[in-house]
Amino acid sequence: MKSVWLMLALGVTLTGMNDSHARDTTPAPAATPTGDDPFLWLEDIHGARALDWVKQQNATTAKQFVDNAEFARTRDRILEVLDSEARIPYVNRMGDHLYNFWRDKAHPRGIWRRTTLAEYRKAEPAWELLLDVDALNQAEGKRWVFKGVQCLKPAYERCLVSLSPDGGDAVAVREFSVPHKAFVKDGFVLPVAKSEVDWIDEDTLYVGTDFGPGSMTESSYPRIVKEWKRGTPLAAAATVYEGKPSDLAVSAHHDRTPGYERDFVSIARDFYHSDLYQRLGDKLVRVEVPADAEADAHRDWLLVRTRSPWTVDGATYPVGALLATPFDPFMAGKRHFTMLFEPDAHTSLDSYAWTKNHLILNLMDDVKSRLEVLTPPQMATPGGDWKRAAMAGAPAMSTINVIDTDPDHSDEYWLDVTGFLAPSSLQRGVLDGAAAETVKQAPAFFDAAKFAVSQHFVQSKDGTRVPYFEIAPKDLKLDGANRTLLYGYGGFEVSLQPQYSGGVGRAWLERGGVYVIANIRGGGEYGPQWHQAALKANRPRAYEDFAAVAEDLVKRGVTSAQHLGAEGGSNGGLLMGNMLTMYPQLFGAIACEVPLLDMKRYIHLSAGASWMAEYGNPDTADWNFIRTFSPYQNVRTDGRYPPVLFYTATSDDRVGPVQARKMAARMQAQGHPNVWFYENLEGGHGAGADNRQSAHMHAMAYDFLWDQLQ
């Protein structure tokens, strides 16, 4: 379900760790009753009055930060990275072909294409064009944004293409014929909605969509999943399962693995609790694992990833463990597991991927990648011995991602290897066969030889050891005068690992800046416990961690408050809002992207109701703790805040633009100087529908921060 789911110039001098996290400790004011909120009118996303306000704000911000030669240079340098023909065209295998979606200067909305492995190995592969989104838009007079495909295996000749009208999460779904390179006449079509679809066979789909009033959850996702037959109206589709309005979402999936065909229905109660059922005809049989665990069936095996301690069959398994047991015996009542991974204080499981005969574990050791290969016993027996071997390690301070495998047919795997100063390399190998080889290498977009990467650890307010990465010039002077940008997220079990960014290199590092990534609680860097440590009432732990990193950068002489900036988006935008209101003395400027900010109303805005498991429900007694980290309620007329840029997108139907609108409007009305706002029309939660829009938004943020941190 998660696919529905990346600085105040007051010159405050810090007095050392004994005074760390000093801030205004006056209790947060009670939330303004919604009826008295003078900026509720900005919640009318497409209302004329609200859009007029947006246009005025955009014009003011553009005049200050966009309408100049410096911005144009920054934007164009970032756009060169995004449009570069030398980028890696990442692929996923479907049958005998490798498929890729590609955007560049000539194709701003992108092309969907395919090639063979033999061609892909060449420096200039020959591609077979399947769908040109720009040509489609021209023919239809639309502005479609490509949102992915689902193709029916094993032939992969029929696909469901998702197209967003504005870059948001709501999409139109159309059936596409790969052999004919065209949409299927009278094929499966769904109008624009937040839909979940999956192939059962060539003539049947599982579909969850907006079937009419009451068919979506309070979180704005499908509440009902149906089985839809070709040639019949959607209204005639047969209901498979109907959830409750309070559920997050309902979906169904058909596993087409040869010899292991199975059907599943998933009911997500919230972001971290779900019920999984195997569908046997008209009967649903629950997969009896804890509601907060992740369960995955593959061939003979059921894998369970725990989020809380689980005692079963006389054994207790820890948080963050990965367990395996034969699927069919488990469904028949057997409960004996083999623990494939057990976390420790430094190591967590990031992800895993099946090949035909093996399981690849992607582990993090203090946020740096390491791979292991596990081989199950030939006969799926409880307690059978799994063989374990290490895969070739990654370079220091780097990340390895398993981006594709071919579990139905082979032990092929594809790896993306990257680091802050190491452009990505795409490697392909076959377990028990060909060793990994570099198939594609991304170009360097800045001179990495001038910089060094280091990892540091700092104690947070409660004594927790928090890591952060620093990318800085090799000749960095620890004189407190370096413009430094601190980035964070801290939510939803999302980990921030080393990753190459040509945009950051060109727009920040090459200017002489220092770039820092804070691995604060709320993320997944040390497994579910690291995430759970900042849930709901404990959310301020994430903010204390971020503040501790900021203070450590000053203590070490890397920077000082007037030269330290912060940036984050979405949940990271909420982080920025709280840095603004809780720790303004630590920063010289803040960039706040597509943020949550009004935590009193967030569950009533866009998809906000889906995040109550993360933050709590402000319409209940939870408001007593939520109010402490709701920036919109906590910004004060008598506060002294650093310059701030809020930027968002009208088409963001996940968080929505209204929270950034209201925060900027409130701060401006309170008389705070240097409060800037910009709203892109397209792009959804990514704030950009094409490379040029993305370059525009990123350049504006970097130039704003650079100018303010002088």
* DSSP-derived secondary structure for 470-538: EEEETT---SS---EEEE----TT--------HHHIIIIITTT-EEEEE--BTBSTT-HHHHHTTSGGG
Three-state DSSP at 528 gives helix
Q: Supply 301's token pair.
A: 């095996």
Q: Which residues contact 15 (CB under 8 A, 6 or more apart)?
A: 22
d(CA 700, CA 682): 16
For residue 107, list its beta bridge partners. 104
CB 599 within 8 A of CB 615: yes
| Alpha-carbon 406 to chain mean position | 24
Q: Supply 704's token pair.
A: 């704003």
d(CA 473, CA 659): 37
Three-state DSSP at 356 gives coil
CB 343 within 8 A of CB 320: yes
Three-state DSSP at 256 gives coil
Q: Are strands 398-405 and 387-390 parallel, antiparallel or unpaired?
A: unpaired
Three-state DSSP at 54 gives helix
- In sign, the C-alpha dihedral spanning 222, 225, 230, 233 is negative
Q: Supply 549's token pair.
A: 């990193």
Three-state DSSP at 506 gives helix
d(CA 491, CA 615): 10
Helices (H), 391-527: 502-504
Q: Supply 287's token pair.
A: 């997969």
Active site amino acids = 570, 685
CB 269 within 8 A of CB 275: yes
Q: Supply 263's token pair.
A: 């059907």
Phi, psi of 621 (to 5 degrees): -60, -15
CB 446 within 8 A of CB 422: no
For residue 160, list its beta bridge partners. 150, 175
What is the DSSP code (8-state) at residue 332?
A: T
Three-state DSSP at 362 gives strand
Residue 204 to residues 188, 197, 198, 232, 558: CA-CA distances in angstroms? 9, 10, 9, 10, 60
Q: What is the dihedral of CA 296, 301, 304, 305, to 10 degrees?
A: -80
Q: Supply 82's token pair.
A: 């995004």
d(CA 366, CA 254): 37
Gyration radius (Cα) of the chain, Å = 25
